[in-house]
Homo-oligomer: A and B are copies of this chain.
């Protein structure tokens, strides 16, 4: 079974990583729930798009522009880090955004379809481990 057949829609599975340690510059009382944890929990209460797994992580070290998430998925996709996220306003945006990310085999969401928040709050991206030649024309 080749890679495409295995994934159904032909795209590698995706991970949505949420920094659950993020304080977003706020004071969090002892034993209080951090904004990053609240963002994670708001996402966990939603159904993730097909092929997407939600993963809590320790610290993405984007502390000045939290809350933060990262999206990654296989050796052919760019990995993206997004910041300035809020648990009240952004869970739907993230759920839709990660579905678009999953739909892009190389992880590059076409500019016109890209959510505004992603356009303005990309903290960094990391290239795929291996570029797939036929996909290059699309980016």
Inter-chain contacts of A79 with B (CB < 8 A) = 79, 126
Give residues 110-131 of A contacting B (CB, 8 Å): 122-127
User: Is A62 an interface position by the 8 A CB rule?
Assistant: yes
As a 0/1 sequence over residues 48 to 62 of chain A, the CB contacts with chain B under 8 angstroms (1 = contact) are 000000000111111
B58 touches A127 (CB 8 A): yes
Inter-chain contacts of A127 with B (CB < 8 A) = 17, 57-58
Q: Which residues of A contact B (CB under 8 A)?
A: 17, 57-62, 68, 70, 72, 79-81, 122-127
Inter-chain contacts of A124 with B (CB < 8 A) = 60-62, 68, 70, 81, 123-124
Copies of this chain: 2
Min Cβ gap A24→B in Å is 15
A123 to B124, CA, bound (A): 7
A80 to B62, CA, bound (A): 11
Closest B residue to A74 by CB, please name it: B129
Min Cβ gap A132→B in Å is 15
Min Cβ gap A47→B in Å is 24
Inter-chain contacts of A126 with B (CB < 8 A) = 17, 60, 70, 72, 79, 81, 126
Min Cβ gap A5→B in Å is 23
Min Cβ gap A88→B in Å is 23
